[in-house]
């Protein structure tokens, strides 16, 4: 099997933020460029007008007040009030537009990620905790909402504010402006040096947070086993350790993040102090007016406000870049099992199935099956038996192309399954797997999952065929009884009956039953097999059974072992052969007695 990642091991990051990844992020913004442009236009106008107020104050102090120009002061006051009202409206409009854009982008990103997850091979889910997948789809994408809603526009507007402020400052006094900017290069240098450390810190936090979620998901799924073995305390200790690791990683990332804001604040404070000293001396020498000094100092505060804001936005972007890397890592995961470039739609088939010299292994050089060959016409009931791990379920999975073979060919009605689309192939197949999965919803909805357009009557007929109707009818609301996630309120046998009815409703030409009756009592199992026998008439079926007594009526029994077929024949023929099958059957019979 492929290397398995657990809750206790950090994941290797396969991709890093690059130009290609940034282009991918921008592609999610492009559909909403009109809203972005409108928002930027509104905010640009609001920024320019609001930044003019210190300049208006200078005019009031240096010209209107000394000249006792009351009308001019009233006009400036009214103009400042209008600017204030416009700024409030602009902020409200920006908030509405960008919240719509941000959450629309999140919606698109989440749907793309979920859609891609649906197409990934089962090996992807077999080799990593599901909690680590969930944290990407939910937590990480949610964390991006504010960046797309406000961060990008705010970053752009803060930059515009800087240039507008500098324009006003240079217009008022070039020398004081240049003096006030002395500390700016130092801040830029500090941020550049901190960038790589900052990014790695948030990657480390995302790893620890992912581990924590993985263990939480695993613990919830296994809570009955935990309680049965009285492992609550030991599990709590593990969770506490993982939570502590997450806390330490978060604190380290935040410590690095918080170092930017104090640095920016200290530099801005020192800049104002320097201007106060220089300004006071200049006023004493009558080289500058009070209005100029007040305007410059006001603009210095305004200049460093967007700088401080941009440092916070920078922190936000760096944090979200670590999340984006994990999200894009999932989206870029190779689907592996995919349609061939010239794949066609598989036509309706009769059900002739053939394996031609098939070799397969989950890991290169470690084959489960080698040179496996068999061919059976439509309507044949093929039973697969053998020791645990011999490859019985593997054969069934290969037929549905859940894995791709290394060599050989698998055909249905002479059509290579690799030459047709996966969707059209699986539409011809029906699967009843060992894991009798039941979705949250009603029993009617769970059975209808096999064929969404089926009528209630067809659903009930399928349930009757597998002897599920009686127990369903006895439930409080019959077929409309709601079941919880994974059908936890149902017995294992009831879940298998529902899953079997779902497979029957699909009415496939080829049906795979993988240990379909493993959790059902013997009496019910006999009734189910009788129902299956009637339904499987003129249909090809592959039945993987632990109880050999249930496959006596199979047309052919294949005993899987040693990477291939070690025996084949009917029940009577294999017993007469007195080989592996006879040994297994006698062992089960003696245990039953």
Q: What is the DSSP string of 69-98?
A: -HHHHHHHHHHHHHHHHHHHHHHHHHHHHH
> What's the pLDDT score for residue 232?
84
Q: Which residues pair with 569 in a beta bridge?
A: 557
Residue 355 clears pLDDT 90, i.e. is over it? yes
Under the phi-then-psi rule, with left for phi > 0, alpha for psi from -120 to 50, and beta for the rest, what region is 411? beta
Residue 569 clears pLDDT 70, i.e. is over it? yes
> What's the pLDDT score for residue 1?
44
Task: Please tell me the distance from the alpha carbon of residue 16 to that of residue 322, in angstroms, as a whole number.
Answer: 9
Q: How confident is the model at residue 352 (pLDDT cuts 50, 70, 90)?
A: very high
Q: What is the DSSP string of 113-177?
A: HHHHHHHS-HHHHHTS-HHHHHHIIIIIHHHTHHIIIIIHHHHHHHHHHHHHHHHHHHHH-HHHH
Record the tokens describing residue 196, joined without a space: 């790589």
Q: Tell me the mean pLDDT in the region 337-352.
A: 90
CATH, domain 19-331, list 1.10.20.10, 1.10.150.120, 3.40.50.880, 1.20.1560.10: 1.20.1560.10
Q: Tell me the mean pLDDT in the region 56-63.
A: 79
Q: How confident is the model at residue 534 (pLDDT cuts 50, 70, 90)?
A: low
Q: Name the more confident of 493 and 451.
A: 451
Tell me the domain boundaries of the chain.
Answer: 19-331, 353-592
Instruction: Count the Cβ atoms, other than its own, within 10 Å of residue 382.
Output: 21
Q: Name the more confident of 306 and 534.
A: 306
Residue 464 clears pLDDT 70, i.e. is over it? yes
Q: How confident is the model at residue 161 (pLDDT cuts 50, 70, 90)?
A: confident
Question: What is the rounded end-to-end Cα distance, in angstroms, of the chain?
Answer: 38
> What's the pLDDT score for residue 276?
76
**Choice among 5-14, 268-277, 471-480, 503-512 with the minimum mean pLDDT:** 5-14
Q: How confident is the model at residue 396 (pLDDT cuts 50, 70, 90)?
A: confident
**Choice among 34-43, 393-402, 556-565, 579-588 with the minimum mean pLDDT:** 34-43
The DSSP output letter for 379 is: T
Average pLDDT, the chain: 81
The string of pLDDT tens digits covering residues 223-245 is 777 877 777 888 889 889 988 99
Helices (H), 434-549: 443-448, 456-465, 469-473, 492-506, 522-535
Is this prediction's pTM over 0.85? no
Sign of the C-alpha dihedral, residues 274, 279, 282, 287?
positive
> What's the pLDDT score for residue 6?
64
Burial 417-432 (b: 16+ CB within 10 A, else e): bbebebeebbebbbbb
> What's the pLDDT score for residue 412?
94
Task: Please tell me the distance from the alpha carbon of residue 136 to that of residue 326, in angstroms, as a whole number.
Answer: 7
Residue 102 clears pLDDT 70, i.e. is over it? yes
The secondary structure element, H or E, covering residue 263 is helix 260-284
The topology (CATH level 3) of 353-592 is Rossmann fold (3.40.50)
The string of pLDDT tens digits covering residues 414-457 is 999 999 999 999 888 888 776 677 887 889 998 898 888 889 99
Record the tokens describing residue 38, joined without a space: 């409108």
Q: How confident is the model at residue 566 (pLDDT cuts 50, 70, 90)?
A: very high
Q: How confident is the model at residue 357 (pLDDT cuts 50, 70, 90)?
A: very high
> What's the pLDDT score for residue 93?
81
């Amino acid at each position: 099997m492929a290397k398995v990642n657990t809750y206790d091991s950090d994941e290797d990051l396969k991709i890093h933020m690059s130009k290609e990844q940034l282009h991918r992020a921008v592609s999610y913004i492009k559909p909403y460029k009109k809203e972005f442009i409108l928002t930027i236009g509104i905010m640009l106008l609001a920024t320019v007008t609001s930044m003019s107020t210190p300049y208006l104050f200078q005019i009031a102090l240096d010209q209107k007040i000394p000249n006792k120009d009351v009308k001019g002061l009233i006009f400036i006051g009214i103009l400042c009030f209008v600017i204030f009202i416009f700024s409030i409206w602009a902020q409200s409009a920006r908030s509405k537009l960008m919240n719509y854009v941000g959450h629309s982008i999140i919606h698109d990103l989440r749907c793309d990620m979920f859609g891609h997850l649906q197409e990934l091979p089962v090996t992807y889910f077999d080799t990593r905790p599901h909690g680590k997948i969930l944290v990407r789809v939910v937590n990480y994408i949610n964390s991006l909402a504010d960046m797309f809603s406000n961060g990008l526009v705010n970053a752009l507007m803060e930059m515009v504010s800087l240039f507008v402020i500098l324009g006003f400052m240079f217009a008022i006094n070039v020398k004081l402006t240049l003096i006030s900017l002395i500390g700016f290069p130092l801040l830029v240098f500090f941020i550049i040096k901190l960038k790589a450390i900052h990014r790695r810190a948030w990657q480390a936090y995302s790893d620890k947070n992912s581990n924590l979620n993985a263990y939480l998901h695993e613990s919830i799924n296994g809570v009955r086993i935990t309680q049965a073995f009285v492992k609550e305390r030991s599990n709590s200790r593990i969770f506490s350790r993982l939570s502590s690791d997450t806390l330490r990683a978060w604190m380290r990332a935040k410590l690095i993040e918080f170092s930017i804001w104090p640095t920016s604040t200290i530099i801005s404070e020192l800049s104002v102090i320097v201007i106060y000293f220089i300004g006071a001396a200049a006023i004493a020498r009558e080289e500058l007016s009070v209005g100029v000094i007040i305007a410059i100092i006001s603009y210095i505060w305004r200049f460093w406000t967007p700088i401080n804001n941009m440092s916070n936005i920078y922190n936000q972007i760096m944090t979200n870049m670590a999340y984006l890397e994990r999200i894009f890592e999932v989206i870029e995961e190779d689907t592996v099992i995919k349609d061939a470039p010239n794949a066609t739609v598989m036509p309706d088939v009769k059900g002739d199935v053939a394996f031609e010299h098939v070799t397969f292994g989950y890991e290169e050089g470690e084959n489960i099956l080698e040179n496996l060959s068999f061919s059976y016409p439509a309507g044949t009931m093929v039973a697969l038996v053998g020791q645990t791990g011999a490859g019985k379920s593997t054969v069934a999975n290969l037929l549905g192309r859940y894995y791709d073979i290394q060599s050989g060919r698998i055909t249905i009605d002479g059509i290579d399954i690799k030459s047709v689309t996966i969707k059209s192939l699986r539409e011809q197949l029906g699967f009843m797997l060992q894991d009798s999965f039941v979705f949250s919803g009603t029993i009617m909805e769970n059975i209808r999952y096999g064929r969404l357009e089926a009528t209630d009557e067809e659903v009930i007929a399928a349930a009757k065929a597998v002897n599920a109707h009686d127990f369903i009818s006895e439930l409080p609301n019959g077929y409309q009884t709601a079941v919880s996630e994974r059908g936890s309120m149902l017995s294992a046998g009831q879940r298998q009956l529902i899953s079997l009815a779902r497979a029957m409703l699909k009415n496939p030409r080829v049906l795979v039953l993988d240990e379909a009756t493993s959790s059902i009592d013997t009496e019910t199992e006999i009734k189910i097999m009788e129902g299956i026998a009637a339904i499987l008439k003129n249909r090809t079926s592959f039945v993987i059974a632990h109880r050999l007594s249930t496959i006596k009526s199979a047309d052919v029994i294949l005993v899987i072992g040693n990477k291939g077929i070690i025996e084949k024949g009917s029940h009577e023929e294999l017993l007469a052969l007195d080989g592996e099958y006879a040994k297994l059957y006698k062992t089960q019979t003696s245990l039953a007695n």
